[in-house]
Structure 1
Amino acid sequence: MSTDYNYDEQGQFFPYFILTIAGLITVPLSYSLLKPSKDLEITAPRIKSDFKPRDEDLIQGQKRKQWRRERRIKRIITVAVGYLVIAWMAYLIMVTKTTAPKIWDPYNILDISRSSSEQQIKRRFKDLSRKFHPDKAQVDESKNQTVESVNDYWVEISKAYKALTDEEVRNNFIQYGHPDGKQSFSIGIALPKFIITDGNGKYVLLVYGLLLGVLLPYVVGKWWYGTQRMTREKVLIASASSLFREYKEELSEGDVINALSSGEEFKEILSGNKVDSGLGKIEKSITEGGDTDFTAAGLTNADRQHLEKLDGARRKAFALLFAYLGRIPLDGSKLDDEKYEVAPVALALNESLTAICLAFGNVPAILSTYRTSQNLIQAIAPSSSPLLQLPYITSSIASLLEGPNARHHLTIQDLMSWPEPKRRKALTDAPQNALSPSQYNSAMTVALQLPLLKVEKAFFKVMGERHIITSSLVQLVIKARVIPPGTANVPPVNELDLEDVDPDEGDLDALLGRKSKKGGDKAKQLDSGTSDPASAVATSEEVDKPLQPPLAYAPYFARDHPPHWHVFLSDSKAAKMAVPPFTLTTFNKPLFTPEGTPTFNMQTFKMQFQAPPQVGKYQFIMHLICDSYVGMDSREEITLVVEDPAKAEEGVEEDSISEPDEDSLAAQMSALKSGQPISSGTKRRSKKVETSDDDESDTEGEAGDNTSETDTDTDTDGE
């Protein structure tokens, strides 16, 4: 048997081939476009405000530009073209006539049923031989018959008759499906024949060479190089190296801006003629004005020295960043557009610099990078007032509110703590740049939506233990509520909400930190630290689905940014980080009602680390920093008490020995040995209580204290 490979001359199967390839590309790409996004930037709610900055069009244009950079437009075009190709191929399949290979069937040739007997077959053959035998057949030219076609048909009739009557021919038909035995078959390749027509072969080879030798290596190489040239923070490796060289232990916020200007990404943005275009104008705008210590853009004398030492794209990036932070109008759409373009790039670079500072562990440098993140998102210079985060509030208005001799800036919390009449009069009756009633209402509306996270309690504990011993796995438990600045009628803290109840011993989901498949109310009760089931009103949906805070209110930042809260511990004596930070992005309970009012739900956050190997008291400073808002950080001292393991075990053994219940088998056996009857009024007591001189047990009071001596109720600064 031979096999013949040939090309699809009629192009019957070529549309099927193209349809399959187009479907394999278009369908997954369509799913990636239509599937619900899990990005916090897209799924988070937004703070409501009617404020529009002066360059709103440029800022929105930068957002659209980033959207195009993410290749979403290209994917949409690719999907559209893919569906057009699919529709075209479906049309060709419908209109193209396909010919299926005929199966050789002797019963069909003789026009008899498959149940016919041998006599019926012979009789039918005789009837056909009288009509189609070459000696007797009549050629009907009106039916386009020829002598050859009549003879060929008689040959088919003879083969069919032998296949049903001759033993050898019948065996060939049964085994191979044809009276002549094995037959060659043809496979049609799903490509039009014109591709291999004489003279086109070299072009086909050229196309294959370009696809396999040029395009495929280029795509794979570009993908591989793209993955290798970026860090985890999505910045270039070369930029991370430059930031590492710029690191020093004492980094001011101006030093951070100077370090960020070394990013290689700015060379791509400010390429060609953009490097020197308008640079003199920008430098003049950021260096003039202000008092002797700070310019209008917030430059210090050290920052001016940094600027003088720089050149090229780095110098312009440095100038543009301070123009952005100072909200300096550059009176040119191109320069202003570049100003808003460099800020998101600087934020990504700042995340990389933060990772470098965390590796060294110097607290001043870490805090400077975190505060630079706040400044970049809010477009506020390092020396400016936090009140500029509110719409329509300018530097002059903030200065009037703070007074001429103010030593510290007024925070949004400070302003919102004023009585409403005083606050309204100060903002609407100012001698200069007074706010109109609508502008005042807009500023207050935004302030009442800002997610200020207030720590109510922070303490250390070891799960399932009453004492913290050396080298144990310690949890820092933080109980906090989101209370927007100026919120009235804040309910007092429920003491039960400040407790942290350990999960049951058999609850593996809670012990391992996994989502519980059932018992949502119970899981919520444990997670919130509420011991009273009646006060733990929650649904399983709230437990299984983390809730996001509103996107950062940042009208000048050309990106949608979800706020992050960073918590880390530092040594109170040395300016060194003791426990690396963990980041909060979601909450376990709703922050606001559907009407927009705060819920004041107690949120629980936990971070784990290993206790020190030595016994003693360790003083830490807990830093809680929000990367999106200026002046909303908190700092408090907290003490970790590490006890000797032997001492802790003795206390556990004493407390754990107790009399058996009166209705248990152990109680009955004890009564038989002692000869004493079982008293119906016997209560469960510990040996510690029996040997004590006091008449009352303190076991109940000890059970209420689940957290060890390390619980702290400290003051919170900066709120």
Structure 2
Amino acid sequence: MSSDYTYDEQGQFFPFFILTLTGLVTFPLTYTLLRPSKDLENTAPRIQSDFKPQHADLVNAQKRKRLRKERRIKRIITVVVGYAVMAWMIYLILITARTTTKAYDPYDILGVSRSADEKAISRHYKRLSLVYHPDKIRPDPAKNETIEDLNERFVELTKAYKALTDEEIRNNYLQYGHPDGKQSFSIGIALPKLIVMEGNGKYVLLVYGALLGVLLPYIVGKWWYGSQRYTKERVLVASAGNIFQEYKEDITDQGIISALSSGEEFKDMLKGSRSEAGLAKVEKKVMAEDISFLSDADRETLKKLDNATRRKALALLWAYLGRIDLDDASLNAEKYEAAAIALGLNEAYTAIALSFGNLRPILGAFLTSQSLIQAVPTKSSPLLQLPNFTDAIVKSVEGQDSKDHYSVQKFMSLPDAERRRRAVGPGLLTDKQYTQAIGVAQQLPALELSKVFFKVMGEKVITPSSLVQLVVKARFIPPGTTNVPTVNELDLEDIDPDDDDLDALMGRKAAKNRAVKGVDGKSVEAKLEKVQPPLAHAPFLARDHSPRWHVFLADAKQGKMAVPPFTFTTFDKPIFDEAGKPTFNVQTLKMQFQAPPQVGDFTFVMHMLCDSYLGLDSKQEITLHIEDPAKAAALEEEDDISEPDEDSIAGQMQALKTGQSPKKKARKPSDSSSEEESDTDGDAGDTSDTNTETDVED
């Protein structure tokens, strides 16, 4: 028996090979396209409003354009081509005639029944010989028969006859399945013979060289260059370098906008002639005398820019912040596109400002984010972020001579009749416009502080270099909300999880020892939910944005950041109920850092900033008390002495009073390894050493 390795000359197996390779690429790409997005912007609810701003069609068009980029058209095309190739290979597999080796069957060749005896077989063979013997039959031209075909047919008939009548040949057939004995077999390799045919070697080498020497290095290089081209904020490295050069410790809010205009992304947006097309018109609109939010220094900054791309980008950003109509559809579209790009660049600027740690640029970065999202100039009235509000309406509400702007909370705290008197009337808002503005204001996620304190998990006092938690207790109270319930003091406590509750210690769920009252009044274990606030109501921004709250500590005296910001995007309790009404649940925000290495009192200013809305920020002065470790040991010893033993009368009285049995103490006080436990489940804020709650500053 011999074996023969042959190439797939008829292309019978090659479609299977191509189908497999294509599927290995196409199916993973399909999964990445169909996989539900986990981005915050795709999972958050929306503020309900029927307000449509001017140029709403242009804003929506820019949103769709941005979504098309994020969907990666090349990946979609690759998947479509992949499925087309797979369908073609399946079609070839179904229609291609495949020659398969059939089992040798002499009965089928002779056309006799398997129950026929040897005499019947001999008679049938003789009749076939009279018909198919080469001396008796002639080739049929209609069937394209030849003499060789007739001879082969008669040989097959004779071989089949002998396989059933000749003893030796029959033994071969029964033992090996063929009258000739052992047969050779061939193994088909799923490659067309064309690849290895003589004379095609140079072309094969050329293809391999193109694949391995050109295409593969190009793909790897493109991936590597693409991954190194962007920062972790998804901003071009070149843009981050430009913004870094623009950074100054005394940079103003308008200076930050100017710094953002240096981003390289604007070169892709304003390619070719677009960098100068309409530039003079945009500048004329921005430089108009009635544009009051720009200072003379800002105007001079624009005039000094030599680069046409950056000059137009800066003019477009100022036109966007001032909501200036450029009287040109293409220029207005570029204005909204530039704002979305600048918001991404601002994340890079924020990272740079945080690395330097200077307070003023950091606050400016967050304020710039608010301005870009709401299309409102920095230091302008927060009322402009309400639908239909303009500078004229703001002046009517605040008063012509007012120097301080109203926050949305202050405006909504006015009686409805007073609000209407100031905002509704000829040249002001209509009743419908007023209703739209109030409807949005009542849905803004205003997070109000309830209690702020420092603590160390499991300890009564804070010692040097310990891991300190800043615990912020706050509630979402939308502006204009009435009948706000008082805070439940139990909700202001922060209970430490048990030592064996690893999920709670890692922040994956609520502590086992934290219980809430159910509908039936029974205690049930609390569940740690991830609740998102609604998407930012930003009708002028050409992208969706989920609000983020940044909490950090600053040293006001030195103007420096003391503890970097912790960012919160989700909360552990529902913000609104099913009817859309606020729940007034106390939300808990925590940030952990290392305490100073020395004993003393350290006063910080805690900033809690929302990156999406103006006027919803809070700050509060808070003092961190660092105690001597000896005092902590003394307090722990006092707790051990004062706690009654469970076997004593005092312990039983305490159990009757509190409903909990005291922990059993070790009987050998001299044993330093005894597992004595102190009651550390209480709120650190219950002691004068760590309760640093103060009044919220306006």
* TM bucket normalised to smaller: 0.7 to 0.9
The reply to whether residue 506 of structure 1 matches residue 500 of structure 2 is yes
Determine helix, strand or coil for the equivalent of 1:460. Answer: strand
Match of 1:451 in 2: 445
Among 384, 390, 409, which residue is 1:394 paired with?
A: 390
| Structure 1 residues 437-466: Cα deviation after superposition (integer angstroms, max 9, x where no partner) | 010000000000010111111101111111
Amino acid across the alignment from 1:410? Y
Residue of structure 1 in register with 2:6 after alignment:
5
Matches of residues 501-540 of structure 1 in structure 2 within 5 Å?
501-515=495-509, 523=512, 526=514
User: CA 1:194 to 1:545, structure 2 compared with 1: closer, same or farther past 3 Å?
Assistant: farther
Alpha-carbon distance in structure 2 between the residues aligned to 1:135 and 1:701: 108
Counterpart of 1:59 in structure 2: which amino acid? V
Q: Any stretches of 5+ residues in structure 2 without a counterpart?
A: 652-660, 666-677
Please name the residue that 1:309 is paired with. Answer: 304
More displaced 10-residue stretch of structure 1: 205-214 or 364-373 = 205-214
Letter aligned with residue 454 of structure 1? E
Partner of 2:459: 465
Aligned match for 1:548, one of 502, 518, 532: 532
1:107/1:476 CA distance change after superposition, 3 Å: farther
The equivalent of 2:371 in structure 1 is 375
CA distance in 2: counterparts of 1:615 and 1:42, whole angstroms: 47
The one of 538, 543, 567 aligned to 1:559: 543
CA shift, 1:645, in A, is: 0.7
| Partner residue in 2 for 1:44 | 44
CA distance in 1, matches of 2:467, 2:106: 84
What is the TM-score normalised by the length of structure 2?
0.85
- Residues 285 and 338 of structure 1: CA distance in aligned 2, closer, same or farther (over 3 Å): same
User: Contact between 2:374 and 2:540, CA under 8 Å: does it hold in 1?
Assistant: yes
C-alpha distance in structure 1 between counterparts of 2:528 and 2:663, whole Å? 40
AA aligned opposite 1:224: W
Conserved 8 A contact 1:130-1:136: no
User: CA separation of 1:472/1:110 partners in 2, compared to 1, >3 Å: closer, same or farther?
Assistant: farther
Counterpart contact for 1:243–1:353, Cα < 8 Å: yes
Deviations 1:67-119 (A, max 9, x none): 121245554454445444444444443333333222457898799999x9xxx
Mean CA deviation greater in 239-248 or 92-101: 92-101
The within-5 A match list for 1:118-133 is none
Q: Report if the CA contact (8 A) 1:546-1:586 is conserved.
A: yes
Note the C-alpha offset of 1:12.
Answer: 3.3
Structure 1 pair 572/16, CA: closer, same or farther in 2 (3 Å)? same
Question: What is residue 612 of structure 2 aligned with on the other side?
Answer: 628
CA separation of 1:152 and 1:27: change in aligned 2, threshold 3 A: same
User: 1:337 is matched by which residue type in structure 2?
Assistant: A
Q: Are residue 343 (structure 1) and residue 358 (structure 2) matched? A: no
Which one of 557, 562, 569 corresponds to residue 573 of structure 1? 557
Q: How big is each residue's C-alpha offset from its partner over 1:440-497, in whole Å with a ceiling of 9 and x where there is no partner?
A: 0000000000101111111011111111111111111111111111111111111110
What residue number does 2:101 align with? 101
Q: Is the 8 A contact 1:8 1:189 kept in 2?
A: no
The change in CA–CA distance for 1:662 and 1:213 in structure 2 (over 3 A counts) is closer
1:147 to 151, 156, 159: 151
Aligned to 1:484: 478
Quick one: distance in 1 between partners of 2:412 and 2:522?
31
Superimposed CA distance per residue, residues 582-609 of structure 1 (whole angstroms, 9 cap, x where no aligned partner) = 1000111111112211111111111111
Q: Secondary structure at the match of 2:451?
A: strand
Cα pair distance change 1:105/1:135, threshold 3 Å: closer
Q: Name the residue aligned to 2:184.
A: 183
Deviation readout 1:267-325 (Å, 9 max, x if unpaired): 121121112222122122112224xxxx33x2222222321221221111111111111
- Inter-partner Cα distance in structure 1 for 2:257 and 2:295: 12
- Structure 1, unmatched stretches of 5+, are 517-521, 668-682, 688-698
Q: Is residue 327 from structure 1 mapped to residue 323 from structure 2 by the alignment?
A: yes
CA distance in 1, matches of 2:15, 2:131: 48
**What is the match of residue 604 of structure 1?**
588
| 1:254, distance to aligned residue in structure 2 (A) | 1.0
Offset, 1:4: 3.1
Match of 2:647 among 642, 651, 662: 662
| Contact residue 163 and residue 179 of structure 1 kept, 8 A | no
Equivalent residue, structure 2, for 1:361: 357
Equivalent residues in 2 for 1:401-416, closer than 5 Å:
401-416=397-412
> Relative to 1, partners in 2 of residues 1:663 and 1:131: Cα closer, same or farther, differing over 3 Å?
farther
Which position in structure 1 is the counterpart of 2:671? Answer: none
What is the one-letter code of the residue matched to 1:493? V
1:136 shift after superposition: 11
Q: CA deviation at 1:62?
A: 0.7
Deviation per CA, 1:203-249, whole angstroms, max 9, x where unpaired? 77666555444443333322221111000001111111111111111
Q: Distance in 2 between matches of 1:499 and 1:124?
A: 103
Question: CA 1:410–1:84 in 2, change beyond 3 Å: closer, same or farther?
Answer: same
1:434 to 428, 432, 436: 428
Do the aligned partners of 2:162 and 2:169 also contact (CA within 8 Å) in 1? no
Identify if the C-alpha distance between structure 1 residues 553 and 13 changes in structure 2 by more than 3 Å, giving closer, same or farther.
same
* 1:48 shift after superposition: 1.0
Aligned-partner SS, 2:12: coil
- Do 1:655 and 1:686's aligned partners in 2 also have CA atoms closer than 8 Å? no
Structure 1 residues 581 and 538 mapped into 2: Cα distance closer, same or farther (>3 Å)? farther
Write the deviation string for residues 621-674 of structure 1: whole angstroms up to 9, x where unpaired. Answer: 10000000011110100111111111111110121134432379xx9xxxxxxx
Which residue of the partner structure matches residue 690 of structure 2?
710
Contact residue 646 and residue 663 of structure 2 kept, 8 A: no
Distance 2:521 2:558 in 1: 41
CA distance in 2 between counterparts of 1:94 and 1:200 reads 29
Letter in 2 for 1:302: A
Structure 1 residues 196 and 635, CA, compared in 2 at 3 Å: closer, same or farther? same
Aligned to 1:693: none
CA distance in 2, matches of 1:714, 1:641: 14
Q: How many residues align?
A: 666
What secondary structure sits across from 1:442 in the alignment?
Answer: helix
Q: Separation in 1 of the partners of 2:520 and 2:261?
A: 53
C-alpha spacing 1:47/1:213, structure 2 compared with 1 (3 Å):
same
Partner SS state of residue 263, structure 1: coil
In the other structure, the counterpart of 2:675 is: none
The farther-off stretch of 71-80 and 301-310 is: 71-80
Q: Secondary structure at the match of 1:408?
A: coil
1:619 aligns with 2:581: no
Aligned pair in 2 of structure 1 residues 419, 359: CA closer, same or farther (>3 Å)? same
**Alignment TM-score, normalising by the size of structure 1:** 0.83
Give the letter for the 1:315 counterpart: R
Query: Which sits farther off after the overlay, 46-55 or 654-663?
Result: 654-663
Q: Match for 1:308: what amino acid? A: K
**DSSP 3-state at the match of 2:527:** helix
Quote the Cα distance in structure 2 between the aligned partners of 1:122 and 1:420: 113
Instruction: Tell me: CA distance 1:30–1:266, structure 2 relative to 1, closer, same or farther (3 Å).
Output: same
Contact 2:107–2:160, Cα closer than 8 Å, also in 1: no
The answer to whether the 8 A contact 1:159-1:179 is kept is: no
**C-alpha distance in 1 between matches for 2:580 and 2:343:** 30
